[in-house]
Amino acid sequence: MFDRLEDLLNRFEEIMNELGEPDVTADPSRFQRLMKEQSDLTPLVDTYKDYKDAEKTIQDSLSMLEEEKDPEMREMLKEELSDARSRSAELEKQLKILLLPKDPNDEKNVIVEIRAGAGGDEAALFAAEVYRMYVKYSEARHWKTEMLSLNENGLGGFKEATFMINGNGAYSRLKYESGVHRVQRVPETESGGRIHTSTCTVAIMPEAEEIDFHLDLSECRFDVFRASGNGGQCVNTTDSAVRLTHIPTGIVISCQDEKSQLKNKDKALKVLRSRLYEMELEKRHDEEAKERRSQIGTGDRSEKIRTYNFPQGRVTDHRIKLTLHQLQNVLDGNLDEIIDSLTAADQAARLSHLGETA
């Protein structure tokens, strides 16, 4: 590990030297590439330098303890040595995490699909609440959201919603949200006060660019139709809605939120490309079964991941057995405690897996 860290430290210094050369700024693509590499390496290099400082403090303290006779000075040196050892151990742990292979999709925008599951209208109402939860979380992180496709039930619920979240690192934060979300509560329509259980499924897909996944348009069929639902401003009066069918897989995407047929077509292609890219990623994951078992699930839509229990005001994530009695807080978009815990659990599992294979 430390040989690799020294190599990365040397590479960082090379980059800094290159960035100081006059001809680099004249080449925008090279300059941008170097700046990105510098940005990626900075957390690792800073942590490694702190680790080396802590190790030097340990060596210096041990050396001085061998020569020091004064009891008070020896006590101070022992305290300094203990602090440095604790810091060194913590920094070594951080370095191992920073050296874990990064998910190439982590910095991508995401496309989110939410679908009402078991529970009829109550499931659709819950799906709408889950949608609002992610919108509020995105707003808190200054990410932008854009609705791509929406199918409502007429009561304020969502049968199906597909939307995009644009923000740096969106996939890295939200990738653990894929799966079945379950709600337990008394619906407003329930006169007997019985608690019902309803579900919705969430799929988090990294936005796929053409470079990630080539989509053959000859395998696609486009149909246009008149938009339905809440209209106004010509949305419902022209054939602007688009239905895109991917013939090899049978996937059908409908987009009708824009007045422009071309914009709806672009949105549909974005969703299709990301769905096909996600299918390709799942195939790769299945081929790497052992590695997949060592990680927190990030893609199985059938996996029950979380329960929102209204009578007890609690949220439970079943994968890491985390329970928070902060239901409304979570539904208001305060997801960081859950996401940070999932990230830490995934990192611990991956470190353990690396230890087993080392």
Kindly give, in sequence order, each residue whose CB lies less than 8 Å from that of residue 220, ignoring residues fewer than 6 positions away.
244, 245, 246, 247, 269, 272
263 alpha-carbon distance from chain centroid: 26
Sign of the Cα torsion 310, 316, 318, 321 reads negative
Of 185, 195, 175, 192, the C-alpha closest to 335 is: 175
Within 13 Å and on the Cβ side, how many CA atoms surround 201?
12
Written as six digits, the tokens of 352 are 């353990």
Nearest to 334 by CA among 153, 134, 198: 134
**Would you call 63 exposed, middle or buried from its count of C-beta atoms within 10 A (0-12, 13-18, 19+)?**
exposed
Structure tokens at 236: 């419902």
In this predicted model, what pLDDT tens digit does every residue of 234-284 receive, in sequence order? 444 456 788 888 888 888 888 877 777 888 888 888 888 888 888 887 776
List the one residue out of 131, 96, 130, 110 whose CA is nearest residue 173.
Answer: 110
Q: Please name the fold of domain 2-98.
A: Methane Monooxygenase Hydroxylase; Chain G, domain 1 (1.20.58)
Q: How confident is the model at residue 342 (pLDDT cuts 50, 70, 90)?
A: very high
How many CB atoms neighbour CB 14 within 10 A?
12
- pTM value? 0.71
Q: What Rg, from alpha-carbon coordinates, does the chain have? A: 26
Domains in the chain: boundaries: 2-98, 110-349
| Lowest mean pLDDT segment, chosen from 9-13, 216-220, 257-261 | 257-261
Q: Which of 151, 216, 210, 186 is nearest to 312 (CA)?
A: 186
Quick: pLDDT tens for 188-214.
Answer: 767 677 889 999 999 998 888 765 667
Q: What is the mean pLDDT of the chain?
A: 85
* Arithmetic mean of pLDDT, 102-112: 88
Q: Categorize the per-residue pLDDT at 69 as very low, low, confident or very high, splitting at 50, 70 and 90.
A: confident
Shared fold status for 2-98 and 110-349 = no
As assigned by CATH, the class of the 110-349 domain is alpha beta
Average pLDDT on 39-59 reads 92
User: Under a CB-based contact definition with an 8 Å cutoff, are residues 264 and 257 in contact?
Assistant: yes
